[in-house]
Amino acid sequence: MVAAGRGHLSAHPDIVVVGAGPAGLATALQAHDHGAVVRVVERRPLPFRPSRAMIVHPRTLESVRPLGVADQLLDRGDRAPEAELHLGRRTVRAALADVALRDTAYPHLTLLRQADVEAVLIDALLSRGIEVERGVEAVDVADGDAAARVTLQKNGGAMTETVECRFVAGCDGQDSTVRRAAYIGWEGGEYREEVVLADLELDGDLSPGVLHVVAGRDGLVFLFALGEGAPWRLLATREGEGGGAPFGQPGRELSSPELQRLLDTAGLGVMVRRQAWSAQVRLQHRLATSFRKGRLFVVGDAAHTHSPAAAQGMNTGILDAVNLGWKLALAPGSADEAALLDSYESERRPVARQVLALTHMVFFAEASTNPATAFLRGTVAPLLAPVVPLFVRPTLLAPVVRLLSQGWVRYRTSPLSRDGGARGRGPHAGDRMPDEEVTCDGVRTRLHVVTAAPGIHVLLARDAPRPDGLPSSSRVHVHRITSRPGRGILAVRPDGHVGFRSAGDGGATGDLDALAGWLRLVGAAG
């Protein structure tokens, strides 16, 4: 619910967010913090449990820092995780606390349950007077010229409400009602392999508090010290049985002997004392043919779904959300609303396609039952174990974590990227803004501290012209970076990407006019 006072529904929301997973909650937060009135509806009466995602990447933490939730996420997670790689009879230990990423405040992987991510985002929404409406299902969604319309059912269909809004964000998972209502295609296929999930109490000589990874002939086995019903969370791959529950949803429970066989095959030497729960999960790899149809948008698993390899699902969904939320909020004030809204698909769909390719490749290596791949995992990998420690040093892990964290993502060809800067050093329009030490208005700090608030951040080099002629807006924050010589100007978007760049050689009036034009484009000029 969106409140004038907490708990009172807004009769005329700007945005209805369908789905209260991490992507939906982050979309709502980003949109609200940029001025939109938001409602969040979720058909499930209670949060989905158990958690499926277990890792938060550095770029995700960066993206939600301006929303004021990064520290709370870190407080709940393990920011100094260690992993043990079991390769045959050899065990290799890897520290993941600092992987030598020097341009971020978060140079580490964070082990954190999806349930905790959702709890932090829900608390943040509540602090803003927004309550998730649970047990409320969007049974029909329609696009219109003047507004979108959502039909909501409550109490199992006993009550029906029709809501008109500017936009609908479909964050409602793989079987998305919003995607179907928008007649958006769903391309891809299913995997032969499936995932087994379980929370287990184990007996045996297993290092506590450590992520255990086993690459074997039959697939991959992970043991996270993050179980919700028991100390250990098992994630294992195996050949699928076919049929069963819908893709991505928990299927049948496994017997304790079945789970024990998986662990025995992994060679960990542990016994199942108790299982709190278990399930098999069917997997697919699919991409929506479009991320937008008029006033309807799809986000996260509703837009793309893939294997759990490389921990991309939740993280990619949150990055979708912080890209879209501010655009939906600022669109009514944009000089070119169509270009602003179209940029969501033109920026995020190519990223989703690349992430799908990455996860497909990693999952094939981890889980494929192809005999050649199984031979490499089960026979060749253990032979290489003596040299593995050479490759788990921080400097060598850094590019891997950057790849998985999507630090490589840039939107240089986006209609929102205006680059008048000279070629050379520094981020271009569309690039992620890296973190670094700077002096801002005479105070030594870090750049991501300067930009850690909602809105557009205009960064003026030491000798850049004063922006007295810019349109006045509470959504625009202007900072002078006195440690950076020259007359350049950068404008950083709410999702941490550079939107506008000028080298300062267009003259004071020309540079500021160009910046003002870009602010009008993104709806932040008034």
Angle, CA 498 vertex, CA 344 and CA 400 arms, to 5°? 85
- DSSP-derived pairing of the beta strands 167-170 and 15-18: parallel
Percentage with pLDDT > 90 across the chain: 66
What amino acid occupies position 384?
L
Mean pLDDT of 442-464: 96
Contacts 24+ apart (CB under 8 A), 371-375: 374/217, 374/218, 375/217
Order of strands, sheet of 136-142, starting from the edge strand that comes earlier in the sequence:
136-142, 148-154, 159-165
φ/ψ region of 267 (left if φ > 0, alpha if ψ in -120 to 50, else beta) reads left
Return residue ranges of the chain for CATH 3.30.70. Answer: 192-283
Mean pLDDT of 260-268: 91
Partner residues linked to 152 by β-bridges: 138, 161
Is residue 191 helix, strand or coil? strand
User: How would residue 128 be classed by pLDDT, with cut points 50, 70 and 90?
Assistant: very high
User: How would residue 1 be classed by pLDDT, with cut points 50, 70 and 90?
Assistant: very low
What amino acid occupies position 114?
Q
369 or 389, which is more confident: 369
Asked whether residue 388 carries a pLDDT value surpassing 90, the answer given is: no
Please give the backbone phi and psi of residue 118, each rounded to the nearest 5 degrees, phi first: -65, -40
pTM of the model: 0.93
**Which residues, including other chains, have CB under 8 Å from residue 140's CB and lie 6 or more apart?**
149, 150, 151, 181
What is the distance, to the nearest Å, from the Cα of residue 484 to the centroid of all Cα atoms in its chain? 32
Rounded distance between C-alpha atoms, residue 378 and residue 89, angstroms: 11
Query: What's the confidence (pLDDT) of residue 412?
Result: 96
Query: What's the confidence (pLDDT) of residue 5?
Result: 37
Asked whether residue 518 carries a pLDDT value surpassing 60, the answer given is: yes
Rounded distance between C-alpha atoms, residue 344 and residue 297, angstroms: 9
Query: What's the confidence (pLDDT) of residue 405?
Result: 83
Per-residue pLDDT tens over the stretch 205-260: 899 999 999 887 788 899 999 999 899 999 998 888 877 777 788 889 999 999 99
Task: For the chain, give the mean pLDDT.
Answer: 90
Asked whether residue 516 carries a pLDDT value surpassing 70, the answer given is: yes
Which of 407, 415, 382, 406 is closest to 90 using CA atoms?
Answer: 382
Mean pLDDT of 13-34: 98
User: Domain 15-77+112-185+289-369 falls in which CATH fold?
Assistant: FAD/NAD(P)-binding domain (3.50.50)
Q: What is the 3-state secondary structure (H, E, C) of 372-427?
A: HHHHHHHHHHHHCHHHHHHHCCHHHHHHHHHHHHCCCCECCCCCCCEEECCCCCCC
Query: What's the confidence (pLDDT) of residue 424?
Result: 58
Mean pLDDT of 301-325: 94
Per-residue pLDDT tens over the stretch 96-105: 877 878 899 9
Q: What is the 3-state secondary structure (H, E, C) of 244-262?
A: CCCCCCECCCCCHHHHHHH
| Rounded (10°) angle between helices 337-367 and 313-330 | 180
Query: What's the confidence (pLDDT) of residue 391?
Result: 64
| Rounded (10°) angle between helices 313-330 and 22-32 | 30
CA 343 vs CA 325, 346, 490: distances in Å: 12, 5, 19
29 or 154, which is more confident: 29
Query: What's the confidence (pLDDT) of residue 138?
Result: 97
Per-residue pLDDT tens over the stretch 57-81: 999 999 999 999 999 999 999 998 8
> What CATH number does the domain located at 418-521 have?
3.40.30.120
CA 10 vs CA 93, 158, 330, 331, 472: distances in Å: 53, 21, 19, 20, 28
Return residue ranges of the chain for CATH 3.50.50.60. Answer: 15-77+112-185+289-369
Tokens of 203: 């007996």
Per-residue pLDDT tens over the stretch 427-448: 999 999 999 999 998 999 999 9
The domain 192-283 is placed in CATH, from the list 3.30.70, 3.30.410, 1.10.760, 1.10.1220, at 3.30.70
191 or 49, which is more confident: 191
Residues 451 and 66 sit within 8 Å (Cβ to Cβ): yes
Per-residue pLDDT tens over the stretch 177-202: 999 999 999 999 998 889 999 999 99
Is residue 46 helix, strand or coil? coil
Which of 196, 369, 220, 193 is closest to 281 using CA atoms?
Answer: 196
Partner residues linked to 15 by β-bridges: 38, 167
- DSSP-derived pairing of the beta strands 489-492 and 498-502: antiparallel
Query: What's the confidence (pLDDT) of residue 98?
Result: 76
User: How would residue 406 be classed by pLDDT, with cut points 50, 70 and 90?
Assistant: confident
Query: What's the confidence (pLDDT) of residue 422?
Result: 63
Asked whether residue 302 carries a pLDDT value surpassing 80, the answer given is: yes
**Which residues, including other chains, have CB under 8 Å from residue 393's CB and lie 6 or more apart?**
none
Percentage with pLDDT > 70 across the chain: 93
Per-residue pLDDT tens over the stretch 341-381: 999 999 999 999 999 999 988 888 777 777 777 777 777 76
Query: What's the confidence (pLDDT) of residue 48?
Result: 82
User: How would residue 2 be classed by pLDDT, with cut points 50, 70 and 90?
Assistant: very low
Rounded distance between C-alpha atoms, residue 414 and residue 368, angstroms: 36
Is residue 188 helix, strand or coil? strand
Return residue ranges of the chain for CATH 3.40.30.120. Answer: 418-521
Residues 62 and 162 sit within 8 Å (Cβ to Cβ): no
Mean pLDDT of 141-157: 93
Radius of gyration of the chain (CA): 24
